[in-house]
Amino acid sequence: MPSYLTRVTVPTLNVAGWWDQEDFHGPVHIYRTLEKRDSTSRNFLVVDPWNHGVLSLTAPTTTGS
């Protein structure tokens, strides 16, 4: 296990897409690993029918958008 996956100190959102042709299992693996050590309920997982990179297509143009 990587040394950086040993604790959750800030809220963490892991995002995966069912149609991610690059890496669906990575975010799920990170979530599961951190969830075992998350005593403060700061680890979250979102899975939706996205493909790889779809969230980066609508980048905000100003802070708070």
14-61: per-residue pLDDT in tens? 988 888 878 888 999 999 999 999 999 999 999 988 777 666 656 556
For the cut 60, the answer to whether the pLDDT of residue 6 exceeds it is yes
Give the pLDDT confidence score for residue 31 in this predicted structure. 95
Q: What is the per-residue pLDDT for 56?
A: 62
Q: Per-residue pLDDT for 4 more than 90?
A: no
Q: How many CB atoms lie within 10 A of CB 57?
A: 6
Q: Which residues contact 2 (CB under 8 A, 6 or more apart)?
A: none
Alpha-carbon dihedral sign for residues 2, 54, 44, 35: negative
Residue 28 pLDDT: 93
pLDDT at 2: 77
